[in-house]
Structure 1
Amino acid sequence: MYVTLSSEFSPANADICVAHHASVAATQRKSLSVGTHLFREGDMANNIYEITSGVFRLTRVLDNGRRQVIAFGLPGDIIGFPNGTFHHSDCEAIQSAEVIAHRRHALDTLEGDHRTHQRLLHAALREISAMQDHFMMLARKSAIEKVASFLITLAERIGTPIGSYMTCALPMSRADIADFLGLTIETVSRTLTRLRKQNIIALDTSQTVLIKDMDALVTAAQASD
């Protein structure tokens, strides 16, 4: 999940995905508890993973020792596309999660279901496009535009309508959001407070946001566009 990622995605369904494969051995379901790594940077990339539930955090440690959150994996996302033959980031569950592991060998040799191949290919192309948009956002948008864009995308993906409002869980910490948006924790907190004072959002808890005025949030995200 990138802040500019299109909402055009199809949530994975474990039963459908396995049924579509000519060889069930090409897929495997895995459940992970909070804090468990699905893979680490430098691990051999034997699988590509389709998220059916939960949330993952993908990170890299820069040469100067600072952490960069590259993306958050949400239900419907496909993660683990390798850099050559190795994973290029750490991937940790920040919510209890379940994935479908697709064997890379089956994909490379065109074994298995054609529709699954097509879905994974389209996911890879979306990831490239979304990553380019994310880099642009990091370079050009202000703090409030970044935070507003992040909340909009999160609401589109995992939000729940409550009347005219939208409630959305924040499974990631303020530090995670800051490292994802290229901001400090203090800036993220101040920006959320600013949006709250403008009556655009309400913070029910530290892990839940209520979007009260989506139109105003969209305006805040596009202020300099």
Structure 2
Amino acid sequence: MESTLSLQSNLYPKVTPAGAYYAVSSDASSASRVLLYGLLKAAPSETISSEKLLAWADTSDINSALNLLYRLQRLEFLYGDEQVSTEDTNLSDEQLPDLLAQLSNVGKALLADENGLYFANAGFHHEAAEELGLLASEIAGVEAKHQLLIKNNLHIHHSAWGICDPSGQSELTFFPLYVGTTKLILVIGGMPDLNKEAFVTLVKALYNRYGSRTSVTV
């Protein structure tokens, strides 16, 4: 049965914060992540077309690509915009803290690699940031070690770990981020707020650095 879906021309595809988080929250392979990866690495000036959609989705089947696009749109993982984005995603380590600070209600956040070395920091003192980077690496190891218990036995399909107060409010949260074959840990002090454009810009900036190393396949 042929798809009745069609593309609206002259629209710029935009990934939402929810879509960006889904893309980097796991290294599990899926067609949805492949398409989101393609969109996150696309130039802001690229409008959607059948040819580009096939490339972004890494498929030769236009019907399956259209249906996937429609499904992700219904999930509010992406949308089409008539305005081109003017955001700059070629950010240096010195520019990342401004984005990171927006993801916390107290302006504290940092990024570390899986070896515990932090390379961007907002709000934490240097000594604390060094220790948090090491702690983030250890927590990422624990999360990976106990994936079968958490996902298969407890049916918890989230990879973030946090320290909460008695009311359940987060005081420190560790978010593993998978960008290509690179694993990073986003550490947020206070209440995290990833539901904003600053998170999408951060993910795109990380893809500019590490996205070419992607090994995700359908």
What TM-score, normalized by structure 1, do the two folds share?
Answer: 0.28
Bigger proportion of residues as strand: 1
| TM-score under structure 2 length normalisation | 0.28
- Relative contact order higher in (CA < 8 Å, ≥ 6 apart): 2
